Amino acid sequence: MQVEVINTGTELLLGQVTNTHVGFFGERLLEIGLRISRQGTVPDGDDIKDMLAGAIERSRIILVTGGLGPTSDDLTREMTAEFLGLELVEDGGVMAKIASRFRASGNEMRPSNQRQAMVPEGAEVLDNNNGTAPGLYLSTGIGSSRVHIFLLPGPPRELYPIFEEQVLPRIKNVLESEGLGVPVARNYFFMGVGESELAGRVELVMDGIPGDFEIGYCLKAGGVIVRCICSERYVAGLDEAIRGIAPEDLVAEGASAIEDVVVRDLSAAGERVAIAESCTGGLIANRITNVPGASRVFDVGYITYANEAKRRLLGVSEAMINEMGVVSETVAKAMAEGCLESSGSDHAISVTGIAGPTGGSSKKPVGSVWIGLASSGVAARAFYYRFKTDRMHFKDRASTVAIDLLRRRLGGWL
């Protein structure tokens, strides 16, 4: 079943707003075995009708974003109604909700907001609990088939809940009503094993699993996602086979960020972590504390960028730094040990490296990083990596690997 996305809004084409909707749609639709076959972006106005005309000829499900607001350039509902030959009528329920929202905020509803209560005849209203623009669902006959059109507000905080709670269930109903079934899509996120190596292992185990599968691979920051699509009856065997390929490298089912997994695992173990960062400048602590529930597992973060800070806050001796160099196995371990002792946490991560573009040498080139890991009752260890990239991506990769080392420790792999 073809799915097409139409993004409306002149601001998208002027570069004033970055469109992120297709990534969200693609990921969520893949979970029910559907793919986006085409995406287009058009300015506000008559071009919307032209894009709809082509989409209806090609696709059975059309997702239209933006242009449902109160301003004069919000024309999606008008253009859609005009194209389909439908009258716009005021929906009393929508008007009441808009008025109630303005009263609750203490603001006065403007006449322009009344436009948002205008609904094409026969359209189904999709409630918006985060804004004044409701979504709209229209089903129209084209030949012997039906085309399902969803008009959705542009802001992600409004669009995403409507899509999750109201659009996906309707799409599933369409699939089931036409006897197509809802395939199962599973994504497995691996870190520490290369794409070609992983693909080779997958192919070996798939030979022994019954059923038809679609297998795909997608590089993600720090790792690889293995995508598997199959019917419900084969899921159990598929899941067991994939999980057994490289259990120590399997971060999570789905596209969960590594920090989400670590916060979950720390919380389950009733343990806490502290961080001592130099070259990553607090990025590891930032990523962990971005996860809801991090307060249960995160103790303290030290940004010991200067050598004096490493000495004063972590107890790394000046003599050690002078003898071994600040970017060294010895200093990384000492930072982790000092962080563990100072914080009283169960685990400590340390990072010291050369982000560049300058500061490297023949023995310690730019991109070098040592990551230390210390845990209560376990001797500190340090691991060397070199990331040949720019400063920003160096910090991102170093922080990702550091968090993954903690995941491996929590899982008993390290």
Q: Work out whether the CA dihedral 191, 195, 200, 202 comes out positive or negative.
A: positive
Report pLDDT for 409: 97
Q: In sequence order, what E strands does 87-180 have?
A: 88-90, 118-120, 124-126, 135-142, 145-152
pLDDT of residue 143: 67
- The amino acid at residue 229 is I
CA distances from 254 to 7, 204, 216, 250 (A): 26, 22, 14, 11
CATH 3.30.70.2860 residue window(s) in the chain: 184-253
What topology is assigned to 184-253 in CATH?
Answer: Alpha-Beta Plaits (3.30.70)
CB 374 within 8 A of CB 336: yes
Residue 331: how many other CB atoms lie within 10 Å: 26
Q: How far apart are CA 292 and CA 378, in angstroms?
A: 28
Helix 307-314 / helix 329-343 crossing angle, nearest 10 deg:
40
For the chain, list residues with pLDDT below 50: none
Instruction: Give residues with Cβ within 8 angstroms of 228, minimum separation 6.
Output: 185, 186, 187, 188, 213, 214, 215, 238, 242
Distance CA 192, CA 389 (A): 18
Please indicate, yes or no, whether the overall pTM of this predicted structure exceeds 0.85. Answer: no
Residue 340's nearest CA partner among 412, 406, 408, 248 is 406
Supply φ then ψ for residue 247, to 5 degrees.
Answer: -60, -35
DSSP string, 177-208: HTT----EEEEEEEESS-HHHHHHHHHHHHTT
Rama region for 370: left / alpha / beta (φ>0; ψ in -120 to 50; rest): beta
CB-CB contact of 354 with 368 (8 Å): yes
Architecture of domain 3-177: 3-Layer(aba) Sandwich (3.40)
The one-letter code for the residue type at 296 is R
- Cross-strand pairs, 64: 6, 151
Counted residue by residue, the chain has a size of 414
Cα three-residue angle 333-335-337, rounded to 5 degrees: 70
- Domain(s) of CATH 3.40.980.10: residues in the chain: 3-177
**Which residue do the tokens 């490297």 mark?**
360
Specify the pLDDT at position 54: 93
Domain made up of 258-410: CATH architecture: Alpha-Beta Complex (3.90)
Burial of residue 361 (CB within 10 Å: 0-12, 13-18, 19+) is exposed
- CA–CA dist 62, 375 (Å, integer): 52
Give the residue range(s) of CATH 3.90.950.20 domains in the chain: 258-410
Alpha-carbon distance of 123 to 320, in angstroms, equals: 72
